[in-house]
Amino acid sequence: MIHCEGLVKIFKTDDIEVVALQGLNMTVEQGEMMAIIGNSGSGKSSLLNILGGLDRPSAGHAVVGSWNLLKMTKEQLIEYKRKTVGFIWQNNGRNLVPYLTALQNVELPMIIQGKVDSAYAKQLLTAVGLEHRMGSRLTQLSGGEQQRVAIAIALANRPQLVLADEPTGSVDSATGEQILDIFRRLNRDMGVTIVIVTHDLSVADKVDRVVAIRDGLTSSEWIKQAAGEFPSGIASNSALAEGVTDSRFGAQHKEYVVIDRVGRLQIPKAYLEAMNVDGKAVLEFDGKRVTLGPIEASPSSASPDRR
């Protein structure tokens, strides 16, 4: 469904140039529900805006379904945003028109598209548990109810892909859990691909794969798997090092470092500092594992950390 390779996004002003994405690689399969995490400034929001057709990539390769995001005309971009992708904002005010009812809000994208299907709009509101709130306006809905209306709006034109920017960020934990359960059910029942950008690590319990972005690059993945199961959903443009259980995501998740086509990977800064590695390091290969260590002590003699 999504294939990004060497994706670059540069923001320029008269005085400064910021590289938000520095050659990012990522693949998302059709029908997958996955999450993207990263600190502020990591590039995750830039990636989501590109996938949503809100920003243009500066360079690289970005394909969603049959659409090449770097080569679309303005007319094609409008068609893409209307039919292929649904977007859910963290700020409910960007999702809803306050003077319309919940049902009218869901019907609005259909009106723009030129074909209103009121029965389907009602079906969507029922699917998100708001069959009793169809005639309610924004001021009559709680934050969680507004977010559920936003999910229905994103699905109004039957998109193949739904992008959610911090969908649980403005609600309490119980409501956030309910929203993620709705995402999972819609993903299963409708087959729609769902990508969630979030700071909330508990989201991992509801998705099969979590991709971490650091400094504009994919750095690692956490994959949910049964005991003894080989990881699924691995990006075709990456190789994954041996997984280790990550306590943040529970025993079902294993963390893998992502290695791109030319052999690059990101080593966490804390690891390098602990090994006293700065700029250059010594590598050794024993036929199965690569060992990294500081220059002043050879890996074979100093037994440094293995990553």
Average pLDDT over residues 58-78: 92
264: tokens are 């690059």
Least confident span in 1-5, 89-93, 176-180 = 89-93
Q: Are 307 and 257 in contact (CB under 8 A)?
A: yes
pLDDT of residue 273: 82
Residue 247 has pLDDT above 50, yes or no: no
* Placement of tokens 């529970």 in the chain: 250
Residue 288 has pLDDT above 90, yes or no: no
**Residue 307 confidence class, pLDDT cut points 50, 70, 90:** very low
Phi-psi region of 67 (alpha: psi -120 to 50; beta: other; left: phi over 0): beta
* pTM to 2 decimal places: 0.81
3-state secondary structure at position 222: strand
pLDDT, tens only, 109-144: 999 888 899 999 999 999 999 999 999 998 899 888
Q: Are 26 and 210 in contact (CB under 8 A)?
A: no
CA dist list (Å): 176 to 69, 79, 146, 168, 240: 31, 31, 12, 5, 31
Residue 244 has pLDDT above 50, yes or no: no
User: From the CA atom positions of the chain, what is the Rg in Å?
Assistant: 21
- What residues does 85 pair with on adjacent strands? 161
Residues 6+ positions from 270 with CB-CB distance below 8 Å? none
Q: What's the CA gap between 102 and 126, in Å, rounded?
A: 11
pLDDT of residue 149: 94
More confident site: 95 or 182? 182
pLDDT of residue 114: 87
- Comparing CA positions, the residue from 42, 6, 70, 61 lying closest to residue 211 is 42
pLDDT of residue 252: 63
* Placement of tokens 């709680």 in the chain: 142
Q: What's the CA gap between 239 and 265, in Å, rounded?
A: 10
Query: E strands of the chain, at which residues?
Result: 2-12, 17-28, 33-37, 59-64, 67-68, 85-88, 161-165, 193-197, 209-214, 217-224, 239-240, 244-245, 253-259, 282-285, 290-293
Angle between helices 102-113 and 74-83 (to 10 degrees): 140
**Residue 85 confidence class, pLDDT cut points 50, 70, 90:** very high
242: tokens are 């041996």
**Residue 267 confidence class, pLDDT cut points 50, 70, 90:** confident
pLDDT, tens only, 25-49: 999 999 999 999 888 888 888 999 9
pLDDT of residue 157: 92
Q: How many CB atoms lie within 10 A of CB 245?
A: 12
**Residue 256 confidence class, pLDDT cut points 50, 70, 90:** confident
pLDDT of residue 250: 52
pLDDT of residue 303: 52
pLDDT, tens only, 194-237: 999 987 777 777 888 999 888 888 888 878 765 444 444 444 34
pLDDT, tens only, 212-223: 888 888 888 878
**Summary mean pLDDT of the chain:** 83
